[in-house]
Amino acid sequence: MTNTGLRSLKAVLAVARHGSFRVAARELEMSTSALSHAVGRLESDLGVRLFNRTTRSVSLTDAGREFVEAITPALSEIGAALESARSQRETPAGVLRINASVQGGRALAPLVVEFLGRYPEMQVDVVTEGRLVDIVAEGFDLGLRSADLVPRDMIALPIGVPQRHAVVASPEWLTHNATPRSPADLPVDACIRVRLPDGALYRWQFEKNGDVVLIDARGRLTIDEPAIARSAVLAGTGIGYFIEQDVAADLAEGRLIRLLEDWTPQRPGFSLYYPGRRNPSAGFSAFLDLVRRGNR
């Protein structure tokens, strides 16, 4: 067999992980045709087909599944060895991959800009999405989520300030409906439902003087993207439940009215998290140092 190289093996793992040549090519920063050619060349070298391909789907063959299971631990060890070698560099260089929620990405942006300014040989790739991903399995160095969503087996580092929820409605909606004075007054059929990354529907949480109240929103609209929910509330569709920073400008300029403010205390802020590392790269360590200095 010819020398396939790490890139071809990584290509196979990426396609297997995503079930898509297009998504895998984007992750590996190569064209779809180049990725397909690399996988095809490896299949030719091996003399077996690793993937079943149709116009709509890509799936592993039995031989491909066995191959992926066999090479995954080996590539993980090779990656650790390469990372260990890179960690000996005094000047941080390379790529730092971070997975964050949209709100977390906004909180992280100033630190990323400062980091890039300090270390011109570093690159940072930030992916924002609603779902909570396995950062190790999907090749990320760091994750950023609300502190209460950080997996228990991860090392967590607080970042930014505590957050608050805000319950809001448009002035137009309030001209036709009574203003709720307590969570019990909320018209649950007019409350926009929020779907969490795991598919569950979020229960609106309120707290005052030690009393905790959970409300099941039952509005006709269910949304998993804050920007869309905000647009719906601005249009007078109903009452929304947001992270305060997502609607701060609307509140300041009167486009939205805040409700039940005394029932929405501070909640846990964001945490940067990562698995334990024996030999962190210079860039990884430098970024954590910057975050820690920012928390002082």
Backbone angles phi, psi at 52, to 5 degrees: -90, 125
pLDDT at 227 over 70: yes
Q: What is the mean pLDDT of the chain?
A: 88
What CATH number should be reported for the domain holding residue 54? 1.10.10.10
pLDDT of the residue at 231:
95
Structure-model confidence comparison of residues 253 and 56, the more confident one:
253
- Sequence-distant (6+) residues with CB within 8 A of 293 are none
pLDDT at 280 over 90: no
pLDDT, tens only, 281-291: 889 999 999 99
Q: For residue 178, give the DSSP letter.
A: P
45 and 175 within one domain: no
283 and 149 within one domain: yes
pLDDT, tens only, 82-99: 766 665 556 788 899 999
Q: Of the candidates 52, 86, 120, which is a domain's last residue?
A: 86
What would the mean pLDDT of 111-122 be, rounded to a whole number? 94
pLDDT of the residue at 34:
86
pLDDT, tens only, 120-164: 999 999 998 877 888 988 889 999 998 888 888 899 998 876 778
Distance CA 17, CA 68 (A): 10
Pairing of strands 222-223, 193-194: parallel
216 and 195 within one domain: yes
CA distances from 194 to 91, 190, 236 (A): 44, 13, 17
What CATH number should be reported for the domain holding residue 130? 3.40.190.10
What would the mean pLDDT of 186-193 be, rounded to a whole number? 95
Nearest to 188 by CA among 157, 214, 160: 214
What percent of the chain is helix, strand and coil (3-state, nearest 5)?
45, 25, 35
Pairing of strands 204-208, 193-194: unpaired
pLDDT of the residue at 1:
41
Distance CA 122, CA 293 (A): 19
Whether the Cβ atoms of residue 138 and residue 99 lie closer than 8 Å to each other: yes
126 and 59 within one domain: no
Q: Please tell me the least confidently modeled range out of 3-12, 132-141, 273-282.
A: 3-12
pLDDT at 3 over 70: no
What would the mean pLDDT of 32-47 be, rounded to a whole number? 88
Backbone angles phi, psi at 115, to 5 degrees: -60, -45
Distance CA 241, CA 233 (A): 10
Q: Of the candidates 86, 109, 125, which is a domain's last residue?
A: 86
Distance CA 232, CA 215 (A): 20
Whether the Cβ atoms of residue 49 and residue 40 lie closer than 8 Å to each other: no
Distance CA 214, CA 202 (A): 10
Structural domain count of the chain: 3
pLDDT of the residue at 90:
63
Q: Of the candidates 58, 86, 114, which is a domain's last residue?
A: 86
Integer-rounded Cα Rg, in Å, for the chain is: 24
67 and 148 within one domain: no
pLDDT of the residue at 281:
84
Provide the pLDDT confidence category of residue 5 given band limits of 50, 70 and 90. Answer: confident
197 and 68 within one domain: no
193 and 73 within one domain: no
What would the mean pLDDT of 263-273 be, rounded to a whole number? 86
Q: 214 pairs with which residues across the strands?
A: 205
pLDDT at 190 over 50: yes
For Cα atoms 156, 158, 160, give the angle at the middle one, nearest 5 degrees: 150
Whether the Cβ atoms of residue 284 and residue 88 lie closer than 8 Å to each other: no
